[in-house]
Amino acid sequence: MHDTAIALIQLGAVFFGLGLLGKMAWRIGISPIPLYLIGGLAFGQGGLVPLHGIEGFSHIASEIGVILLLLLLGLEYSAAELMTGLKRSWTAGLVDIVLNAAPGAIAALVLGWGPVGALAMAGVTYISSSGIIAKVLGDLGRLGNRETPVVLSVLVFEDLAMAVYLPILTAVLAGVSFLGGLGAVGISLAAITVVLVVALKFGRYVSAVVDSPDPEVFLLKLLGAALLVAGLASQLQVSAAVGAFLLGIAISGSTAENATRMLEPLRDLFAAMFFVVFGLNTDPASIPPVLALAVALAVVTTLTKVATGWWAAKRQGIGKLGRARAGAALVARGEFSIVIASLTVASGAVDGELAALATAYVLLMAVLGPVAARVVEPLAKSVRGRSAEAAAV
């Protein structure tokens, strides 16, 4: 059979299979990310039926998936909202870093992956999944709850932290010198500062450049701008993902709303390919040896995220039930953790076992996060009811 025909058949099967997995995931009330990863594991190296002939497309599609994930994340925030969220949540953000980055770093050092592996795993266990959390809060009708702004403020801090962290990780993985690493960080901080200033002062002009009343023209200009900025950022070793995120921040108002509405289907398509490709490049046989550690990390970092949310909500004067909801909402990990692991493994700077550990960890946390958010309220009410009964006796 012709190579093109084989590639088309394989791609068609992959996309159709992803559609079925996504439908199954939303029916049972979980994020589709774990199922996408499992699908990739099943058809990658060491899987049931390895796929060949779609490597070129799947690689570039996964890169576009990361860019769109971060672009739409940036579109959710205006520069003013970012600054307000940062002022409100910086102390909770620092607590979040200490509590949730430490377990991953310690695990990497125990496994002998050195400082580079520790830096990567710290990011994997630190960053919550904004996409999963936003979806869960919407599904549970909690967007108007008093604790929700606290959750969103912590997520804003995490997103800004990633804008600094990813360039540092990229520079370290590239093996640049200490001075070169400082240069990458300096470029990143300068870029963030410039973008925030431009967005605050001239955001309407940036929006006008990409805006268009014609949907086709608008989509072409927006996607073209995102890829151009991401490519330039990557060339400067700032990270393509950060470049896309900063572009999203600079676009505001109705333009940002239209862009979000138009790009969401594309993001979901290419992001699904990103998770599948990560699974394709991970040997399923490498997961059982690290499964116990992944479970231990999942337990520890679930508790540390709950503690982070509880502490942040308590500082805002929110009651115990709201604190519990805030903590449970932050548990889920997903897209960012896989982005970090993918960058690390692709560089070859760390043992490939990191991919297996990150995959197993995200599989657990992407399922555990929505479950924790759903069960925490009935559980907290039950505990509070028993306490009240005991006090009455």
SS (H, E, C) the chain: CCHHHHHHHHHHHHHHHHHHHHHHHHHHCCCCHHHHHHHHHHHCCCCCCCCCCCHHHHHHHHHHHHHHHHHHHHHCCCHHHHHHHHHHHHHHHHHHHHHHHHHHHHHHHHCCCHHHHHHHHHHHHHCCCHHHHHHHHHHCCCCCCCCHHHHHHHHHHHHHHHHHHHHHHHHHHCCCCHHHHHHHHHHHHHHHHHHHHHHHHHHHHHHHHHCCCCHHHHHHHHHHHHHHHHHHHHHCCCCHHHHHHHHHHHCCHHHHHHHHHHHHHHHHHHHHHHHHHHHHCCCHHHCHHHHHHHHHHHHHHHHHHHHHHHHHHHHCCCCHHHHHHHHHHCCCCCHHHHHHHHHHHHHCCCCCHHHHHHHHHHHHHHHHHHHHHHHHHHHHHHHHHHHHHHHHC
pLDDT, position 65? 82
| Separation CA 45–CA 277 (nearest Å) | 11
Contact criterion met (CB below 8 Å) for 289 and 53: no
Q: What type of residue sits at position 267?
A: R
pLDDT along the chain (393 residues), means of 10: 75 85 81 79 66 72 82 74 70 92 93 89 90 75 80 81 79 68 68 69 79 90 89 71 78 85 86 79 81 94 95 89 91 84 78 82 85 75 51 46
| Separation CA 146–CA 161 (nearest Å) | 24
| Separation CA 209–CA 225 (nearest Å) | 10
pTM of the model: 0.74
| Separation CA 193–CA 112 (nearest Å) | 37
Contact criterion met (CB below 8 Å) for 359 and 279: yes
| Separation CA 149–CA 84 (nearest Å) | 11
pLDDT, position 204? 76
Q: Buried (b) or exposed (e) across 1-10, using 16+ Cβ within 10 A?
A: eeeeeebeeb
Q: Which two tokens stand for residue 223?
A: 């996607």
pLDDT, position 331? 92
pLDDT, position 85? 64
Which domains are assigned to the chain? 32-45+56-347+357-377 (1.20.1530.20)
pLDDT, position 2? 63
pLDDT, position 384? 53
Contact criterion met (CB below 8 Å) for 157 and 90: yes
